[in-house]
Structure 1
Amino acid sequence: MTKEERLKLQIAACKVRMGVIESTHGAKAGHPGGSLSAADMFTYLYNKEMRVDPTNPKWEDRDRFVLSKGHTAPGLYSALAYRGFFPVADLPTLRHIDSYLQGHPNMNTVPGVDMSTGSLGQGVSAAAGMAKAAKYLHKDDVRVYALLGDGEIEEGEVWEAFLFAAKYKLDNLCVIIDLNGLQIDGPTSEVMPTDPVGAKMRDFGFRTVTIDGHNFAQIEDAFQYFHTQTGAPTAVLMNTTKGKGVSYMENQVGWHGKAPNDEEYKIAMDELNAQMAELEAQV
């Protein structure tokens, strides 16, 4: 990855984070913490990794993405908006009664959303089904990506889907797990420990790679690894910081599902604008 490519992605990720703050502030509700921890991954997926067409969201041969941790819809919506699927100006309408941008992704109303999600554990099952369908239809170039939270993998249905993916050798499926260490009730290590996640994924038949989820070079390497794998699904385990990019939200469990008030909104946007200015000065 060149310096120019990295800077372009960092600038795009900063915009995605701004969109998360704009939308949750506008809604006076939502889930900024996990949206911010996954912002770099959303950015890479929609700006470099996935084959999609914002002018034709239902393109039959597109890659698919399933946000299994559906409550982090603000991050997905922001990435989709900045990619051109719908106007960025609509982000602050999140959760408004007459808005198409509801609190969880709805494939029937939001351009670019491939699966309606919200009930934790179910999204990855749908993603595995999509990957199996692509195999059945001999669409070997269609890849399916699913993003899960580390709290979400406490759900039993997740592991049933992993067994399914391994049994059918779904090497077109990439499962990404956001290991930010916090869920709504506290640290995942205290609520319901799932470590060692990597060893468990390997035991369930996945090829695994662990990365810093805020490092674009490592994200790129992980997907290059995914592209070379045959005969088994891939799991990307990304270590992240909940609330990444907004100082008072970072590693704070209270920001799992709380919107910034007017004062907090200004602080967050001032910080993100400063980060943007620093990045743009390097271009």
Structure 2
Amino acid sequence: MTKERKEELQKICLRFRNELIDLLYSIQTGHPGGSLSCTEIVTTLFFEKMNIDPKNPNKEGRDRFIMSKGHAAPMLYLNMAEKGYFPREDLKTLRQVGSHLQGHPCAHTTPGVELSTGPLGMGLGAGLGMALGEKLKNSDATIYVLLGDGEIQEGGIWEAAMAASKFKANNLIAILDYNGVQLDGTLEEIMPMGDIGKKFESFGWNVLYCDGHDVEDIANAIDEAKNCSTQPSIIIAKTVKGKGISFMEGKNSWHGKPIDLEEYKLAKAELGGVV
């Protein structure tokens, strides 16, 4: 990745952070913490790595992205609107009655959403099914699944991990948004998971690590995962919940808290945005 391209992607991420805060403040609902922690991950996929066509969202052979941690839908929608899957003005209807932009992604209402998510633990198994289906069609498509900290406590994740290894689903790449915080507290407080990398290694996965807020590091990890021809891969991306806004960073209280006026002004000041 060139220096110029990295700077361009970083600017897009900063703009998305500003737009996220504007959006969630305006509707007084949504999930800021987990959306901010996955900003660079989702943006790198949509703007640098995935083979997708917003004008033909069901195109055969496309790469697929599953937002398995469905509460981070606002960041997914910002990327999708920017890419042209739907008009940007639709973002204002987020989580409103009758909107196609529901609080969690819905494949039935939103073009480009590959799987309806919300109940945690579903995405990896569904992603595996998609990956195996693409193999049957001799497709070069890659299936990306973004997982959350609390989500990897779900048994379904590990059932899918076993099966993905058995069937050598090398076209399946999981990315863990590893911010160490979930709804009710830290990962260590709620359900310590030990060494996640070693766990996935023991299940037969190719395990990679990256800085989840460095677009170049993320892109390089994705390239390395795609070069693995015999195993599914997981990229453990170290992130910060609420990244970019000091009073939100690392705080489980910002998992789904509405933003009041003073908090909005402080957040915008830190992001360099105009109120």
**Which residues of structure 2 form unaligned runs of 5+?**
none
Contact 1:22 1:92 in 2 (8 A): no
- Match of 1:143? 142
Contact 1:16 1:43 in 2 (8 A): no
- Match of 1:233? 232
Distance 1:77 1:249 in 2: 21
Secondary structure at 1:96 match in 2 = coil
- Match of 1:131? 131
Q: CA deviation at 1:228?
A: 0.8
Distance 2:247 2:82 in 1: 25
- Taking structure 1 as the reference length, the TM-score comes to 0.93
- Match of 1:200? 199
What pairs with 1:160-239 in structure 2 (closer than 5 Å)?
A: 160-239=159-238
Equivalent residue pairs, number: 274
The aligned amino acid for 2:161 is F
Q: CA deviation at 1:115?
A: 0.7
**Which residues of structure 1 form unaligned runs of 5+?**
277-283
The aligned amino acid for 1:23 is L
Q: CA deviation at 1:265?
A: 2.1
Distance 2:33 2:157 in 1: 22
Contact 1:176 1:235 in 2 (8 A): yes
Distance 1:26 1:162 in 2: 39
**Does residue 105 of structure 2 align to residue 105 of structure 1?**
yes
Q: CA deviation at 1:221?
A: 1.3
What pairs with 1:1-283 in structure 2 (closer than 5 Å)?
A: 1-139=1-139, 141-274=140-273
Q: Can you list the C-alpha shifts for 1:241-274, whole angstroms capped at 9, x where unaligned?
A: 1001122211111101112123322322333235
Q: Structure 1 stretch 167-176 or stretch 8-17: which is displaced more?
A: 8-17
Secondary structure at 2:170 match in 1 = coil
Identity level (%): 45
Secondary structure at 1:52 match in 2 = coil
The aligned amino acid for 1:21 is I
Contact 2:179 2:240 in 1 (8 A): yes
Distance 1:56 1:25 in 2: 32
Q: Can you list the C-alpha shifts for 1:83-135, whole angstroms capped at 9, x where unaligned?
A: 22122222232111121111000011112111110000011111111001111
Q: CA deviation at 1:232?
A: 0.5
Contact 1:32 1:258 in 2 (8 A): yes
- Taking structure 2 as the reference length, the TM-score comes to 0.96
Distance 1:115 1:41 in 2: 18
Distance 1:66 1:216 in 2: 19
